[in-house]
Amino acid sequence: MSALKLGASVLPSRRIDTAPVADTWESHTARCVTRWGRAGAVISLDGEIDASNADALGDYVQQCAAYCEWLVLDLSDLEFIGTTGFSVLTTITSRCADARIYCSTVPGPAVTRLLRICDPTNALPTSASVSDALSGVQGLRQAR
């Protein structure tokens, strides 16, 4: 997985009362690690997302989102994502939008290939990097 080089002011140590969701999720082909911030999380994923694990991943992310004002999905290290994974991503971002949770996806090569086919209108919110996505979070806070 990509190393997250984030300042303590952006992603401080997880507060015990903030998010009772596990910091990791694993399937037979994928693994994710969640880094909790004061009001949100960066979920970094590697491996492969397909029909066998996409729904379980979606459930995990939705559990995390319930404790967030913002959510960044770092998919830059994914080796493969199928169309079922894309469907789960669109569901996650739609539910986050409905709940007024800032959500951005950081695609890697595998996700970028899929988005060219499945999302030609760029409806899925993406950022070039985790740092860019977190800058979006800071911009929202300043606007409030």
Q: What is the third-level CATH fold of 24-143? A: Transcription Regulator spoIIAA (3.30.750)
What's the sign of the alpha-carbon dihedral 115, 21, 94, 135? negative
CA 22 to each of CA 18, 41, 79, 133, 140: distance values in angstroms, whole numbers, following the listed order: 12, 12, 23, 22, 27
Residues with Cβ within 8 Å of residue 25, at least 6 apart in sequence: 31, 32, 34, 56, 57, 60
What count of other Cβ atoms lies within 10 Å of the Cβ of residue 75? 24
Distance CA 66, CA 64 (A): 5
- Determine the pLDDT at residue 74: 99
Q: What are phi and psi of 93, to 5 degrees?
A: -65, -35
Each of the 144 residues of the chain gets a pLDDT tens digit; together they read 444 444 444 443 444 455 468 899 999 999 999 999 989 999 999 999 999 999 999 999 999 999 999 999 999 999 999 999 999 999 999 999 999 999 999 999 999 999 999 999 999 999 999 999 999 887 766 665
Pinpoint the alpha helices (H) of the chain.
Answer: 54-65, 83-98, 109-118, 130-143
Q: What's the confidence (pLDDT) of residue 138?
A: 79
What does the pLDDT read at residue 67?
92
